Amino acid sequence: MIEVKSVSKVFRRNGVTLEALRDVTFEVGTGQFTSIIGPSGCGKTTLLKMMAGLIAPTSGAIEIEGEKVTGSGPDRALVFQHFVLLPWADVLTNAAFGLEARGVAKSKREQIARAQLEQVGLGGFEAHYPHELSGGMQQRVGIARALAVDPDTLLMDEPFGSLDAITRQVMQRDLLKLWQETAHKTTVFVTHSMDEAALLSDYVVIMDTRPGRVAQIIEVPFPRPRSETLTESSEYREFTARLSHQLEKMQRVDMERETTQEAEGSSDG
Amino acid sequence: MVDTGTPHRDPERTLETTGFRPRPYVDIVTGWTRRYRMQALGIVLGVIAWEIAGRAGISPALPPFSAVAAAGIEVWSGERFLQAMRSTAVAIGIAFPPSVIIGVILGLLMGLLRPAEWILRPYINLALSMPLVAIIPIILLIFGLSQETIIVVIVLYVLPVVMVNTYSGVRSTSSDLLEMAASVNASRLLTIRRIVIPSARGLTLAGLRIGVGRAITGGIVAEQIVGVMGIGGLVQRLGGAFAVEELYAVIIFIGAVGVISLAAVNRIEEHYELPGA
């Protein structure tokens, strides 16, 4: 279980303070898939990087299985929005990088990476370089790299955010299958897309901006195992419409707040 | 000869889409690209202009090209020239490799350790902004009229550019890649080997290329000031004796060596280019 306990984060840069997160509290159950969704600037990526141990909270704490997160650890693996592959290394070396960092011997780590690449549908591409692959395929390498270390927790930061619509859909469906077929790994998935969140997750944490905080936590009502035909059902469409509506409302409120703030700012100056 | 022209700017606009056939880039008859033909033509035109100017007798310091070429054949095969060339080549050969190795190591240290950067930065800025010619007399006082003086000057010319380029290369490492390495708990050593060094490679090689030019420059400048050895010394003596044709011949040789070494380093750079980098 991941427990986020009244986490706040304040960034200070050149004398300007920015309250990125205020008193964020929620839990992610072991073996659950939880999406964090919210408008840009709600601190969802910051929160994910805190879980990864890359950013420290200003106050509060994140505990995983009762242990406070103080840095990156072998129990977690991160998938990045922009893939972040080594451009000068082939697909196999990239997929094996997490294992290499753990000091796994070359033949062993390449064997595991090979199997993992096979699983994400990239068998036969081991010797290719990232720039020879499409965005979707590059992210498959990113996912293989994360899964290769067999983490207890998978942290995904808008993994399909920079892909085109069709590729995105394929990737979502493949991830759904992969996640359901392999042992359900505790997953935290940051996204902008309600469709994605509704298809993949057990819970959706909706966050609001300025400061970033939890607005609502919604349980996704669809039973597992889900199939991709779920997206064609009317329940699914109703559910995503409701989510969209909520997010849109938040975004509008935020925009209005910004305009009033700007108006106040200009009258001051 | 048939004009082969340049290729279309937009490779999409080929026969199928526009009805136009893109003209071939490489000359079918000679195998030369248009670019190299134009370069050769430029050189020929320059030589002709030189010949005309020389024959017009504008200045006794500007002999016609034909006279320089005639003097060159004699100079380039003479023992005096060969000995000078050997001396300069040996000085560069001794000074360049350690300058590169030490420069790369110091550059890496500067990029990886903040205090190293703080300590070395003022010296680098000084070396890169100050005319190093000014300190050659001091080096001459220390090492005397010997090849060591030349070697030290070359090192001083090459070291800072190699250092600063390697440093910039290290600092250009993508913060995303470093974050990724941190997320998998990669050791510092693995991060340097797999991420920092490949990232720094391009700029380091560029530093090497600039370094080659500076090694030749530094060596010849130092020899000119010392005045008794190497190609620079020869230039100085020929100038003093007003042996204008021979002087030009030596200068042409220096230029040719410079251009050829740059081309060679470019080749090496291309050869070691990393995929996707």
**What pLDDT is recorded for position A269?**
36
Spatial distance between the Cα atoms of A234 and A231, rounded to a whole number of angstroms: 8
Q: In the structure, what pLDDT confidence band is assigned to residue A5 with cuts at 50, 70 and 90?
A: confident
Q: Which has more confidence, B80 or B31?
A: B80
**What pLDDT is recorded for position A66?**
86
Interchain contact, A86 vs B195, CB within 8 Å: yes
**What pLDDT is recorded for position B13?**
46
Spatial distance between the Cα atoms of B157 and B187, rounded to a whole number of angstroms: 35
Number of Cβ within a 10 Å radius of residue A239: 21
Number of Cβ within a 10 Å radius of residue B250: 24
Interchain contact, B185 vs A54, CB within 8 Å: no
Q: Which chain A residues are Cβ-neighbours of B184 within 8 angstroms?
A: 72, 77-78, 97-98, 101-102, 149
Q: In the structure, what pLDDT confidence band is assigned to residue B195 with cuts at 50, 70 and 90?
A: very high
Mean pLDDT over each residue of chain B, to the nearest integer: 86
Instruction: Give the list of residues 6+ apart from residue B92 with CB closer than 8 angstroms, or none.
Output: B154, B215, B216, B219
Spatial distance between the Cα atoms of A168 and A240, rounded to a whole number of angstroms: 17
**What pLDDT is recorded for position B20?**
57
Number of Cβ within a 10 Å radius of residue B207: 27
**What pLDDT is recorded for position B27?**
63
- The H or E element containing residue B190 is helix B188-191
Residue pair A141/A94 in contact by the 8 Å Cβ criterion: yes
B175 touches chain A (CB under 8 A): no
Residue pair A96/A110 in contact by the 8 Å Cβ criterion: yes
Q: At residue B15, does pLDDT exceed 60? A: no
B180 touches chain A (CB under 8 A): yes
**Where do runs of H (alpha helix) occur along B78-187?**
79-112, 114-129, 136-143, 147-171, 175-183
Residue from B173, B178, B180, B205 to probe the interface with A (highest A Cβ count within 10 Å): B180
Q: Which chain B residues are Cβ-neighbours of A89 within 8 angstroms?
A: 194
Phi-psi region of A205 (alpha: psi -120 to 50; beta: other; left: phi over 0): beta
Cα distances (Å, whole numbers) of residue B272 to A129, B201, B266: 16, 9, 10
Interchain contact, A87 vs B195, CB within 8 Å: no
Q: Where are the domains of chain B?
A: 1-60, 73-271
**pLDDT tens track for A79-106:** 999 999 999 999 999 999 999 999 899 9
Residue pair B91/B154 in contact by the 8 Å Cβ criterion: yes
Residue from A48, A72, A90, A109 to probe the interface with B (highest B Cβ count within 10 Å): A72
Interchain contact, B176 vs A84, CB within 8 Å: yes
Q: Which chain B residues are Cβ-neighbours of A92 within 8 angstroms?
A: none
Q: Which residue shows structure tokens 């607005």?
A: A215
Q: In the structure, what pLDDT confidence band is assigned to residue B6 with cuts at 50, 70 and 90?
A: very low
Q: In the structure, what pLDDT confidence band is assigned to residue A222 with cuts at 50, 70 and 90?
A: confident
Whole-structure pTM value:
0.80
Mean pLDDT, range B193-212, rounded to an integer = 92
**pLDDT tens track for B242-263:** 889 999 999 999 999 989 998 8
Q: Which chain A residue is nearest to residue B177, measuring alpha carbons?
A: A84
Spatial distance between the Cα atoms of B242 and B247, rounded to a whole number of angstroms: 8
Instruction: Give the list of residues 6+ apart from residue B82 with CB closer than 8 angstroms, or none.
Output: none
Q: Which chain B residues are Cβ-neighbours of A130 within 8 angstroms?
A: 276
Residue B25: strand, helix, or coil:
coil
Q: Which chain B residues are Cβ-neighbours of A72 within 8 angstroms?
A: 182-185
Give the minimum alpha-carbon distance from B88 to chain A in angstroms, rounded to a whole number: 38
- Peptide bond between residue B131 and the one before it cis (omega within 30 degrees of 0): no
Residue A11: strand, helix, or coil:
strand
Residue B66: strand, helix, or coil:
helix
B184 touches chain A (CB under 8 A): yes
Spatial distance between the Cα atoms of A20 and A8, rounded to a whole number of angstroms: 7
CA nearest to A118, candidates A88, A92, A79: A92
Give the minimum alpha-carbon distance from A130 to chain B in angstroms, rounded to a whole number: 7
Q: Quote the longest CA-to-CA distance of chain B.
A: 74
Q: At residue B213, does pLDDT exceed 60? A: yes
**pLDDT tens track for A38-70:** 887 788 888 999 999 999 899 888 999 888 888
Q: Which chain B residues are Cβ-neighbours of A154 within 8 angstroms?
A: none
Q: At residue B277, does pLDDT exceed 60? A: no
What is the C-alpha end-to-end distance of chain A, expressed in Å? Answer: 49
Spatial distance between the Cα atoms of B245 and B68, rounded to a whole number of angstroms: 5
Q: Percentage of residues in chain B with pLDDT exceeding 70? A: 87
Q: At residue B24, does pLDDT exceed 90? A: no
Q: Which chain A residues are Cβ-neighbours of B274 within 8 angstroms?
A: 87-88
**What pLDDT is recorded for position A96?**
93
Mean pLDDT, range A119-135, rounded to an integer = 90
Q: At residue B175, does pLDDT exceed 90? A: yes
Q: What is the DSSP pairing of strand A33-37 with strand A59-64? A: unpaired
Q: Which chain A residue is nearest to residue B198, measuring alpha carbons?
A: A88
DSSP 8-state code for residue A131: G
Give the tokens for residue A198: 């509704």
**What pLDDT is recorded for position B112?**
93
Spatial distance between the Cα atoms of B55 and B62, rounded to a whole number of angstroms: 9
Buried-state track A177-188, b at ≥16 Cβ within 10 A, e below 16 = ebbeeeeebbbb
Q: Which chain A residue is nearest to residue B201, measuring alpha carbons?
A: A88
Within a 13 Å sphere around the CA of A238, how many CA atoms are in the beta-carbon half?
5
* Torsion, Cα of B178, B183, B189, B192 (10° steps): -20
**What pLDDT is recorded for position B10?**
47
The fourth-level CATH superfamily of domain B73-271 is MetI-like (1.10.3720.10)
Spatial distance between the Cα atoms of B112 and B104, rounded to a whole number of angstroms: 12
Mean pLDDT over each residue of chain A, to the nearest integer: 87
Q: Which chain A residues are Cβ-neighbours of B181 within 8 angstroms?
A: 101
Q: Where are the beta strands (DSSP E) in chain A?
A: 2-13, 16-28, 33-37, 59-64, 67-68, 76-79, 153-157, 186-191, 203-208, 213-219
Q: At residue A144, does pLDDT exceed 50? A: yes
Give ipTM to 2 decimals: 0.87
**What pLDDT is recorded for position B248?**
92
Number of inter-chain CB pairs under 8 A, A vs B: 61
Fold of domain A2-75+151-268: Rossmann fold (3.40.50)
Mean pLDDT, range B104-133, rounded to an integer = 91
- Peptide bond between residue A211 and the one before it cis (omega within 30 degrees of 0): yes
Residue pair B214/B100 in contact by the 8 Å Cβ criterion: no
